[in-house]
Amino acid sequence: MQPEHATWLLMAAIFCPLICGTLSLLIPRPYILPRLLLILCGPIGALLMLSHFTFHSGVGGATAYVEWMPLLHLDIALKPDHLGLFFAYLVSGIGVCIVLYARGYFGKDADSLFRFYPYLMIFMTALIGVALSDNYMLLMMFWEMTSISSFLLIGWDRDIPQSVRNAMQAFIVTGAGGLCMLAGLIFLGVHTGEWTMTGMYHAVENGHVAMNSTPIVVCFILVFLGAATKSAQFPFQFWLPGAMAAPTPVSAYLHSATMVKAGVFITGRFWPILAEHVHMWPTVIIPIGAFTMVYGAYVAIQKTDLKKIFAYTTVSQLGLLMTMYGLAAYKYDGQPNLIWDVTQILNHALYKAPLFILAGAIGHVATRELPDLKGFFYRDKQARIMTIFLLLAGYGLAAGPFTLSFSAKEMFFYQIYHALHETHNPMFWLLVCAGIATGMFNVAIFIRLFTTLMAKPEAKPEEHHHDDHAHGHGHDEHEHETGFYAALLWLPGAFIVSFQYICGIIPYAYDTLFAWLDPSKDFYDGFHGHFPMTWNAHLGLPLYMSLIAIGLGIALGFGKFLRGTFNDPCDHLYPGFYTLTTKYVGPGAFGIVQRGHAGFYVGAVLVAMVGLFLWSIGGDFSQLVWPETAVTESFTQLLPGLLLTFMVCLTAILLPIVMNRASRVLLLGMCGFSVAGVYYLYKAPDLALTQLSIEIVSLILFLLVLSLVPDLTPKTRKAVPARLVIGIAVGLTMFWMTLSSTGVDQPTMPYLNAQGQNLPNLGEYFLRNSHHGVDTMAVPESQTYGGIVTQAIDPNEVHANDLDDAVIHADKEGQKSVLVHHGGGGNNVVNVILVDFRGFDTMGEITVLGLAAMGVWTLLRRRKKSGEYNDPSDFEDSGPEPLKS
């Protein structure tokens, strides 16, 4: 496939879910089936498009690349290597099942489905983007998108304060981690000059980057902080169980199968780059991962809510995956000690997603509290089906024989074994114990699930109260669908969990189904020939570990230990932090800064401005420039200008004296009109026109707002001298700043400095390039400076009319030639600057403008709805509407 085609196909795959999600908003709410079909197109389309890529390219492989913002190092660089593609497959594959499950879960609740699917699709796009990004900045963009969509989905029940709190908690924890990661990646990019994983990999390969230096280690720690918060590593694991406030499809998808693995994924991405060279890699990752692994399982067994149990086992499994990448820093047989990492990740998704799906299904028809589910199996036919599949998935959690999970756990134990074997470090015996303990807890959880659900019911089960309902907005509690749609509650889970057994029982089924996903399979081939299935398990430390874990687990499962409820002390971390900042630190700090008095704010800003100006010139007033052009005009020529200036001064002086608000607004308008006159006089018709219309609009706005504001003008003024001093200082500062910014050459931008020629200043540059610039200088060949294509051409060939032709022959000798900038194609420089040279700024400005208007609408509507006016003091001293001028 050609590279450019690959780029577009990958981008289409990334944005396919988002586009389908957006389009689904156009379908009227009651049409559930068309909506479902359209949404299914998202993940299925992504899957189909991704299937065009092969897995041959490794980390150093080719990258699909399109420039986006080259100066900011933000480019669309996508890399379909094995890990990224696998992850994208996982996201879209499980995504299909979750979309179907959501239909079963929300039932006929059209409003919920209308709102739910677009959120889900934003997430899907974000995570496929994370998986395929090669560029750091692009990665961060998608990464934050996953945090935002996760926030929206956790806080699904907008009316329940607890769920909103949990959403905030998850967002703040992962967001803070994301900021750390952003800092780390920027630091890494600035330090090494490489802004893509591929580039970084090659730089490390060729020894261009000094690894193990302090900057790289700092980068590693910052990036790992991002990964650890996202993947809920100790002590940040508390947000993940909190995130279970979300509807179950979200828990099954984001918070077990896919998003929380993003941190593991990033660790896996950086493993080939950093693991071998940064000595801290294993010593940081393994202890944290291993502790999370044991601790998560330890908490899980003491929970009673099904979703909480599975949330903590997810934490535990994430710890295991982290440990796996930590152990990969060691070597075994000259190869990295990493066996089937992709399989480990896949395996977890294949049993954890079904567990959540079925937990949600059981909660939907009964309750999620395990003690209340005693004998649930005997309730009715539907309950029997759900119980069977839940237990099948639970067997996978326990890593029992004849599941894929068994093999995966064996391989993890092999990794520990190899590390122990190679390093002879006794600390790894601790890790062996941690592995056994985790396995034991998981087995015990399964045993307890089994014994509770299958127990003979003591009494007639009480009438069902729905715990995990589609938190009904207009959803009738007892309206259950029948047939296929009802079966969608458990069918996707059954489908996913079946792979656990197909791959676990049938030899080579895994090889044909999933093994091609895994790049490290060659390594395993080299050491025992086959995937360590239950059939060909051979005696050794790993198998003993599994057997001990199962034996102890059965004992613990039936035993009386650890039956109480245990609350994770880390749950208090976030509320404590929150209370500290909002109750103690916040009011203290804000009390000083946020006085609620506009005069104070404006004064602070102005004083800071003057202060910064004085600081920047270092108190050396001799630096200040005076206009170089001498006044040559006669008095009569100057007269109109002087008159207008007099008007401006007069209105400015009258403003503070006049007390009536309306008069002041009119005075301001007068001042503005005079300024417009000055613009017109000094040949800036563009500015004059803009100023004139802005004055009219703001006059109307002002008068409208004033008529809403109660007249509370104080009759006396405080601190007049201070205000006077600030005012004069600001006036002088602005005067000098304007002079120095127009009178002296601007510091030129780097791309203007090419060839070291005598370059014009920025204003000159704009003037020259507004239509199409012509410049005589030596340029070897066509180049792109900051997005402006310049071409070297023979001066003899240049005719005035030719300048528009994009294709002009290049001067081969690199002699003195004419440089043609294909500029904005407009003679009105002001407009070209606004829409072309500074188009990004304008884009930002109109966005802000639109948001401000939306804000005004929302606030006014709210006021109308509540029917009461706010405290009049809120309006005192309020400034004008933010308008661009």
**Using CB under 8 A, which of 279, 583, 857, 872 touches another protein?**
857
Q: Is 820 left (phi over 0), alpha (psi -120 to 50) or beta?
A: beta
Contact assessment for residue 688 and residue 680, using Cβ atoms and an 8 Å cutoff: yes
The closest of 546, 526, 215, 273 to 402, measured between CA atoms, is 546
> Closest approach of Cβ 138 to another protein, in Å?
13
The nearer residue to another protein, 511 or 881, going by C-beta atoms, is 881
> Closest approach of Cβ 856 to another protein, in Å?
5
Note whether 25 binds another protein by CB under 8 A. Answer: no
Note whether 607 binds another protein by CB under 8 A. Answer: no
> Closest approach of Cβ 146 to another protein, in Å?
22
> Closest approach of Cβ 763 to another protein, in Å?
18
> Rounded to whole angstroms, what are the CA distances from 116 to 123, 267, 526?
11, 30, 47
> Closest approach of Cβ 650 to another protein, in Å?
26
Long-range contacts of 147-151, Cβ-Cβ distance < 8 Å, separation of 24 or more: 147/171, 147/174, 147/175, 147/178, 147/230, 148/122, 149/119, 149/120, 149/122, 149/123, 149/254, 150/123, 150/174, 150/243, 150/254, 150/255, 150/259
Please, which residues have CB within 8 angstroms of residue 223's CB and are 6 or more apart in sequence?
180, 181, 184, 185, 188, 266, 270
3-state secondary structure (DSSP) of residue 593: helix
The nearer residue to another protein, 452 or 782, going by C-beta atoms, is 782
d(CA 177, CA 197): 20
Note whether 141 binds another protein by CB under 8 A. Answer: no
Note whether 878 binds another protein by CB under 8 A. Answer: no
Note whether 872 binds another protein by CB under 8 A. Answer: no
Note whether 508 binds another protein by CB under 8 A. Answer: no
Which segment (46-54, 186-194, 496-504, 852-860) binds another protein by CB under 8 A? 852-860
**Using CB under 8 A, which of 849, 875, 876, 877 touches another protein?**
849
CB atoms within 10 A of CB 582: 11
d(CA 370, CA 362): 10
> Closest approach of Cβ 857 to another protein, in Å?
6
Question: In a 10 Å sphere around its CB, with 0-12 CB exposed, 13-18 middle and 19+ buried, how is residue 506 labelled?
Answer: middle
Please, which residues have CB within 8 angstroms of residue 401's CB and are 6 or more apart in sequence?
504, 534
Q: Name the token pair of 310.
A: 């599975």
> Closest approach of Cβ 114 to another protein, in Å?
19
The nearer residue to another protein, 482 or 827, going by C-beta atoms, is 827
Note whether 3 binds another protein by CB under 8 A. Answer: no
> Closest approach of Cβ 50 to another protein, in Å?
21
Note whether 865 binds another protein by CB under 8 A. Answer: no
Contact assessment for residue 545 and residue 412, using Cβ atoms and an 8 Å cutoff: no
**Using CB under 8 A, which of 4, 111, 333, 633 touches another protein?**
4
Residues 555-574 that bind another protein (CB under 8 A): none
Note whether 726 binds another protein by CB under 8 A. Answer: no
The closest of 250, 501, 457 to 366, measured between CA atoms, is 457
d(CA 6, CA 717): 68
Binding mask 827-846 for another protein (x = CB under 8 A): xx-xxx-xxx--xx-xx--x
Please, which residues have CB within 8 angstroms of residue 860's CB and are 6 or more apart in sequence?
none
d(CA 724, CA 502): 83
Please, which residues have CB within 8 angstroms of residue 305's CB and are 6 or more apart in sequence?
244, 368, 369, 370
Note whether 856 binds another protein by CB under 8 A. Answer: yes
> Closest approach of Cβ 836 to another protein, in Å?
5
CB atoms within 10 A of CB 709: 15
d(CA 134, CA 65): 9
The nearer residue to another protein, 754 or 852, going by C-beta atoms, is 852
The nearer residue to another protein, 210 or 843, going by C-beta atoms, is 843
> Closest approach of Cβ 201 to another protein, in Å?
25
Can you tell me which residue has the tokens 């034996």? 551
The nearer residue to another protein, 13 or 491, going by C-beta atoms, is 13
Residues 679-698 that bind another protein (CB under 8 A): 685-686, 689-690, 693-694, 696-697
CB atoms within 10 A of CB 534: 16
Note whether 860 binds another protein by CB under 8 A. Answer: yes
Note whether 109 binds another protein by CB under 8 A. Answer: no
The nearer residue to another protein, 23 or 701, going by C-beta atoms, is 701
Which segment (147-155, 230-238, 462-470, 818-826) binds another protein by CB under 8 A? 818-826
Note whether 512 binds another protein by CB under 8 A. Answer: no
> Rounded to whole angstroms, what are the CA distances from 808 to 779, 789, 802?
14, 12, 8
Helices marked H in 461-585 — which ranges?
A: 484-487, 491-505, 509-513, 521-528, 541-558, 573-579
Note whether 422 binds another protein by CB under 8 A. Answer: no
The nearer residue to another protein, 498 or 690, going by C-beta atoms, is 690
Question: In a 10 Å sphere around its CB, with 0-12 CB exposed, 13-18 middle and 19+ buried, how is residue 343 labelled?
Answer: buried
d(CA 225, CA 221): 6
Contact assessment for residue 68 and residue 74, using Cβ atoms and an 8 Å cutoff: yes
Which segment (471-479, 508-516, 641-649, 705-713) binds another protein by CB under 8 A? 705-713
Note whether 653 binds another protein by CB under 8 A. Answer: no
Strands, E assignment, 239-371: 331-332, 335-336
Note whether 749 binds another protein by CB under 8 A. Answer: no
The helix or strand, by DSSP H or E, that contains position 113, with its residue range, turns out to be helix 110-132
Binding mask 778-817 for another protein (x = CB under 8 A): ---------x----------------x-------------
Which segment (32-40, 132-140, 344-352, 701-709) binds another protein by CB under 8 A? 701-709
3-state secondary structure (DSSP) of residue 422: helix
Which segment (44-52, 289-297, 385-393, 847-855) binds another protein by CB under 8 A? 847-855
**Using CB under 8 A, which of 658, 708, 732, 744 touches another protein?**
708
> Closest approach of Cβ 843 to another protein, in Å?
6
> Closest approach of Cβ 825 to another protein, in Å?
3
Q: Name the token pair of 809.
A: 């022959």
**Using CB under 8 A, which of 707, 716, 796, 866 touches another protein?**
707
Q: Is 497 left (phi over 0), alpha (psi -120 to 50) or beta?
A: alpha
3-state secondary structure (DSSP) of residue 260: coil
Binding mask 52-71 for another protein (x = CB under 8 A): --------------xxxxx-
> Closest approach of Cβ 394 to another protein, in Å?
48
In the chain, the amino acid numbered 758 is N
**Using CB under 8 A, which of 165, 761, 826, 875 touches another protein?**
826
Residues 68-97 that bind another protein (CB under 8 A): 68-70
**N-terminal to C-terminal alpha carbon distance within the chain:** 50
The nearer residue to another protein, 355 or 676, going by C-beta atoms, is 676
Q: How many chain residues are in contact with another protein, going by CB under 8 A?
A: 51
> Closest approach of Cβ 828 to another protein, in Å?
6
> Closest approach of Cβ 751 to another protein, in Å?
13
d(CA 876, CA 400): 70
Note whether 701 binds another protein by CB under 8 A. Answer: yes
The site for another protein (CB under 8 A) is made up of 4, 66-70, 685-686, 689-690, 693-694, 696-697, 700-701, 704-705, 707-708, 787, 804, 824-828, 830-832, 834-836, 839-840, 842-843, 846-847, 849-850, 852-854, 856-857, 860, 863-864, 881, 884
